[in-house]
Copies of this chain bind each other. A is one copy, B any other.
Amino acid sequence: MCLYDTMYYFYPEQRNEFLVLASTFLCCMKDYEKFKQLVLQGATLYMPQLSLDCVIFGFHEGQLKVLLLKMRNLQEWALPGGFIYRQEALEVAASRILKERTGLDNIFLQQFHIFSDPTRSDTSKAIHHFSFADLSIDSSHWLAQRFISVGFYALVDFTRVTPQADELTDTCQWYDLENIPPLMMDHRHILDKALETLRIQLNYQPIGMSLMPEQFTMPELQKLYETILGVTLDRRNFQRKILGYHILKRREVRRTGVAHKSPYLYSFDEKQYQQALQDGLHKW
């Protein structure tokens, strides 16, 4: 039994009847006996559906890419997402979902926003989708109600990922950021917000460790920054700035086999990088 049916919320519009305050377990009502009775009968609190969506960024051949999937029976693409387990933090759930899609562990992952607009999930579409799937439900069904979604963004090494579809998914593949297909619901908005956050974070947090392969050249790293920010940077200034953070180690070997002068190879200094992740980027 769900209190939802009998009294909307514990915290109803007509606030003089029942009251529950958030983030505490102590509940109370004016009609305390009635409340007690309901709770003991096993009444539960009505809650919105909570899900999470991941914007997974990858980088390959000078292009920033996003991992998208297409659900069976659906025309539009979607961000990888999922639900949270009973004993699971959101961050853990997000990395679990990431692992399922990319096979990767220990990914850079960050929550950036919660999307709770009541109109974000178009009810009529939801119903339509279910008719498609040979289920008929009406607008009062929980499946047709508003979902609140926590947005995460992740940075992964493109070369180590093999996108994995599952029973529900037709396709799971990378898309160039400049060439995103129509997305379902407000996923386009989520994607944009993720990119906006990433661009801001770029100035305060070291990124690249997760996006670049083990070893890389300075121009390659610069291309990553340029792609994310959408601007061109000065080669020399970029190098000075990045090296100033002391999160890179220069390798002895250089890249060979390419035309022109052979560039140095760099890799991230694991320890310094982790330090910078905590403290932010500072000059020395």
Chain A interfacial positions (CB closer than 8 Å to B): 2, 8-11, 13, 15, 19-28, 30, 36, 39-40, 44-53, 71-74, 78-79, 81-91, 97, 100, 111, 113-114, 116-118, 121, 125-126, 129-130, 132-135, 137, 142-150, 166-169, 184-185, 187
26 contacts between A and B (CB under 8 A): A2-B44, A9-B86, A11-B85, A13-B85, A19-B166, A21-B168, A22-B51, A22-B52, A22-B81, A23-B52, A23-B78, A23-B147, A23-B185, A24-B129, A25-B130, A26-B129, A26-B130, A26-B132, A26-B168, A27-B143, A36-B135, A45-B142, A47-B49, A86-B146, A89-B118, A90-B114
Among A81, A87, A100, A168, residue most surrounded by chain B Cβ atoms (within 10 Å) = A168
Determine how close the nearest CB of chain B comes to the CB of A43; give it in whole angstroms: 9
Q: Is the CB of A79 within 8 A of B114?
A: no
Determine how close the nearest CB of chain B comes to the CB of A8; give it in whole angstroms: 8
Determine how close the nearest CB of chain B comes to the CB of A220; give it in whole angstroms: 30
Determine how close the nearest CB of chain B comes to the CB of A231; give it in whole angstroms: 16
Known: A23-B79, A52-B22, A114-B111. A87 touches B146 (CB 8 A): yes
Q: Which residues of B contact A130 (CB under 8 A)?
A: 25-26
Select one of B23, B87, B135 contacting A53, CB under 8 A.
Answer: B23
Q: Is the CB of B24 within 8 A of A78?
A: yes
Q: Which residues of B contact A20 (CB under 8 A)?
A: 83
